[in-house]
Amino acid sequence: MKKRIILGSASPRRRELLSQIGVEFEVRVSDKEEIYKSSIPEEIVKELSLMKAENVASDLLENIADGSIKDTVVIGADTIVVLDDEILGKPSDEEDAVCMLTRLQGREHWVYTGVAVLDFGPDGEKTVINYPVGTKVYVNAMTEDEIRAYVATKDPLDKAGAYGIQGRFAAYIDRIDGDYYNVVGLPVSRVYRTLRECGGQ
């Protein structure tokens, strides 16, 4: 019997990627605060993804009579964009997006996604799998007009680093070193292998 799979993320892109590879899952999102302590990008995404998964699992436990989760896999994920050791989050407005893209154009940067998988066995015992995946992204030189035209589409405003590699911004991606889907928001091949090991697939 396959385990119940829960994706602890509100990201529509992560939902699309998991659906794309044929995984059957539910979406549960926790509104608990997530604060990281590390200063190393790979460790930050590990911390944040684990917190997301643990928060969702905690919410589930509160609604279960015997206080245990059985035959369930909870997935947490978090993606950050890093340039010159600085994390670029979601832009606060269009001008902030212009500033971020101006910094990214003509250069390379890193995208890290942390994945946390909480594997609950038939006895409710939990196994934690937590890892980061990094992809190096090279962006072509862009004119100010190109940057502003892209920002005007509103596409960058809900995305870390102010761009989505799978959308219109693809025109400005020179190349990547690593997993493309990791930049979209989830390294699905690695996640699939993890789910298979957990008995979720």
Positions annotated as catalytic residues are 78
Secondary structure of residue 44 in the 3-state scheme = helix
Tokens 């939902």 found at: 15
Distance CA 140, CA 147 (A): 11
User: Is-contact 5 24, C-beta < 8 A?
Assistant: yes
How many Cα atoms are found within 13 Å in the side-chain-facing hemisphere of 171? 8
Give me 170's structure tokens: 């693809």
Q: Degrees (nearest 5) of the Cα angle 90, 95, 97?
A: 35
Of 92, 82, 158, 84, nearest to 114 by C-alpha is: 82
User: Is-contact 114 149, C-beta < 8 A?
Assistant: no
